């Protein structure tokens, strides 16, 4: 990568802030460092559509810290992109200003369609998916992106208002969750998929031969599911991407997670303790999609829309 440029992107999500610093050369990305810190920007958001001051302040400080890390890698002005909670917030400008004051950086609040398009681009350049029709699913805190495409051709792209934090805050299950809590969650997901997702997504899946479409998860949830299956004690990109999950494994994990208390879930190897609450709903969304559309296998990619944003270079 002799002609590589060093770039960085800071992703302000509903659940966490993430930094990716990488060397970019054409369609090749070599990550140098990746950091994530949970700030739960979407906490208490969905009743009023207002971001809470404490969550905004925490998020802005983390962006400033990550900007400093990027500078240590030789990137003086990382791009900052914000997604679901920020784009829905009635006080979006307050978040943008808080980040500007803390770091001097300008935030670009991207649309759900842009988020989905970058997720497709980030995954589609992987050699292992060459020539395969793909359904890429990115389950975030506030929304889920679904993208259908093949090679470099994106055929469908939509962001849906179904996310792990959004769903958890709406359901507020007991600790440990009751059987009724679990059924309410599954029922809500089934209803949402039947009403809002299936009518627009199914025709694009049916355009390919039966059983030809590969389901790919690119979210933190899908990576954590693979990490739990492997019992990882530290992040390992190669191991995660080499571990597809069967529908039976996802269902079994869902049953396990919904039977445990928060304290018990925090002890599971491969599950970061600060994700032990939203893993309930994130896993339920993936399980629901696999059941609704008949997928027996979930491939995992760690190269989602942050990678796509870097591939877009100066067009970001």
Q: What is the pLDDT of residue 181?
A: 98
Place of tokens 């869902």: 254
Percentage of the chain modeled with pLDDT above 90: 86
Q: Write down the pLDDT at residue 216.
A: 97
Q: Is the pLDDT of residue 108 over 90?
A: yes
Which residues are 215's β-sheet partners? Answer: 135, 298
User: Per-residue pLDDT tens for 202-232?
Assistant: 999 999 987 789 999 998 999 999 999 999 9
**This model's pTM is above 0.75:** yes
How many whole angstroms separate alpha carbon 216 and alpha carbon 304? 10
- Predicted confidence at residue 1, as pLDDT, reads 54
Specify the higher pLDDT residue, 78 or 125: 78
Q: Can you list the domains of the chain with their CATH numbers?
A: 5-109 (3.30.420.40), 113-305 (3.30.420.150)
CA angle 141/143/149 to nearest 5° reads: 125
The residue-averaged pLDDT of 140-160 equals: 92
Tokens of 6: 């060093």
CA distance 192 to 32: 39
**pLDDT value at residue 230:** 97
Q: For 223-245, what is the mean pLDDT?
A: 96
* Predicted pLDDT at 2: 59
CA angle 286, 148, 111 (to 5 degrees): 85
For the cut 50, the answer to whether the pLDDT of residue 167 exceeds it is yes
pLDDT per residue as tens digits for the range 291-303:
999 999 999 999 8
Asked if residue 123 lies in contact with residue 304, where contact means CB atoms within 8 angstroms, the answer is yes
Q: CA of 166: how far to CAs of 60, 62, 305, in Å?
A: 21, 22, 20
Query: At 316, is the pLDDT very low, low, confident or very high (cuts 50, 70, 90)?
Result: very low
Q: Given this model, what pLDDT does residue 88 score?
A: 94
Each residue's pLDDT tens digit, 35-90:
999 999 999 999 899 999 999 999 999 999 999 999 999 998 899 999 999 999 99
Band (313; pLDDT cuts 50, 70, 90): low
Q: What is the pLDDT of residue 304?
A: 86
User: pLDDT tier at 314 (50, 70, 90 boundaries)?
Assistant: very low
């Amino acid at each position: 990568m002799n002609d590589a440029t060093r770039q960085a992107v800071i992703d302000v999500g509903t659940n966490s802030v993430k930094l990716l610093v990488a060397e970019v050369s054409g369609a090749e990305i070599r990550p140098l460092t990746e950091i994530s810190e949970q700030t739960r920007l979407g906490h208490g958001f969905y009743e009023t559509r207002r971001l809470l001051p404490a969550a905004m302040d925490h998020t802005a400080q983390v962006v400033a810290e990550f900007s400093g890390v990027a500078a240590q890698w030789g990137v003086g002005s990382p791009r900052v992109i914000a997604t679901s909670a920020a784009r829905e917030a009635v006080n979006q400008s307050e978040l943008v200003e808080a980040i500007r004051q803390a770091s001097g950086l300008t935030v670009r609040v991207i649309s759900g369609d842009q988020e989905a398009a970058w997720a497709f681009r980030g995954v589609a350049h992987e050699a292992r998916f060459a020539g395969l029709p793909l359904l890429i699913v990115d389950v975030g805190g506030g929304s889920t992106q679904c993208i259908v495409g093949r090679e470099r051709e994106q055929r469908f792209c939509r962001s849906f208002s179904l996310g792990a934090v959004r769903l958890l805050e709406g359901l507020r299950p007991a600790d440990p969750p009751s059987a009724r809590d679990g059924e309410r969650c599954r029922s809500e997901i089934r209803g949402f998929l039947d009403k809002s997702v299936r009518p627009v997504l199914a025709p694009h899946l049916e355009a390919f031969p039966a059983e030809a479409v590969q389901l790919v998860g690119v979210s933190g949830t899908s990576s954590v599911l693979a990490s739990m299956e492997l019992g990882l004690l530290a992040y390992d990109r190669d191991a995660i991407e080499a571990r597809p999950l069967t529908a039976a494994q996802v269902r079994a994990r869902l049953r396990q997670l919904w039977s445990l208390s928060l304290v018990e879930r925090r002890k599971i190897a491969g599950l970061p303790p600060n994700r032990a609450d939203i893993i309930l709903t994130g896993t339920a969304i993936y399980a629901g999609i696999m059941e609704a559309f008949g997928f027996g296998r979930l491939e995992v990619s760690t190269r989602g829309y942050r990678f796509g944003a870097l591939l877009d270079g100066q067009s970001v």
